[in-house]
Copies of this chain bind each other. A is one copy, B any other.
């Protein structure tokens, strides 16, 4: 049976959709639950449309971060969730939460980490004038946007880009690399070794954990 994954999302959930589609297309994981902390998250609608269980753990009901996290932990445990994939979940997780599933909580970030941790990555990439940016799927650590890198994809910055056009181009890659990276981990092909992910089994795509433009 495929490992059971919960996707945590606060927003529109386009990466959630990519993971749902991949799971149904044969990726080595099952999206077993969608959790959101916002009542207005479109992720809830996506779960409904895909006939997936969804749980709202409303951030407004919890004064304390740990209280909200404990409720999410309970929801995950009840659903027998092995892996957690963050997809636009707008909360920084505590070490206590992360310790509940060691090395089995993953995140996607819209930059080539370690560049541009944090928010407004595309704006900052444009301000910095980089020619190449991308996205990164990594194992979650308590530090923001830090942790062993599973996979990355490179994306060009074009001369006439603004935040919207660049975000859209990177997002296309996010939808490709997130299912691949999650599958590398849930299949056992990728293992955390120290603070790196090593690929210990031959895999199809991406063979080395990166995606080039040619795979577009």
Contact = CB atoms under 8 A, between A and B. Distances in A.
A130 B152 CA distance: 8
Interface string A151-173: 11110111100000000000000
B199 A159 contact: yes
Interface residues of A, number: 33
A100 interface: no
Given A114-B115, A159-B198, A159-B199, A132 B213 contact: no
A22 interface: no
B115 A112 contact: yes
Nearest to A156: B210
B156 A129 contact: no
Contact of A149 (B131, B148, B158): B131
A94 interface: no
Interface in A61-97: none
B148 A129 contact: yes
Contacts of A210: 131-132, 156-157
A130 B114 contact: yes
Given A213-B214, A214-B214, A196 B132 contact: no
Interface string A90-125: 000000000000000000000011111000000000
Given A115-B112, A210-B156, A132 B134 contact: yes
B132 A195 contact: no
Listed from nearest, the 6 A-B pairs whose CB atoms lie closest are A129-B196, A131-B210, A131-B152, A115-B115, A154-B154, A131-B209
27 contacts: A112-B112, A112-B132, A113-B130, A114-B115, A114-B130, A127-B196, A128-B149, A129-B148, A129-B195, A129-B196, A129-B197, A130-B149, A131-B149, A131-B151, A131-B152, A131-B208, A131-B210, A132-B153, A132-B154, A132-B210, A156-B210, A156-B212, A157-B208, A159-B198, A159-B199, A159-B208, A159-B209
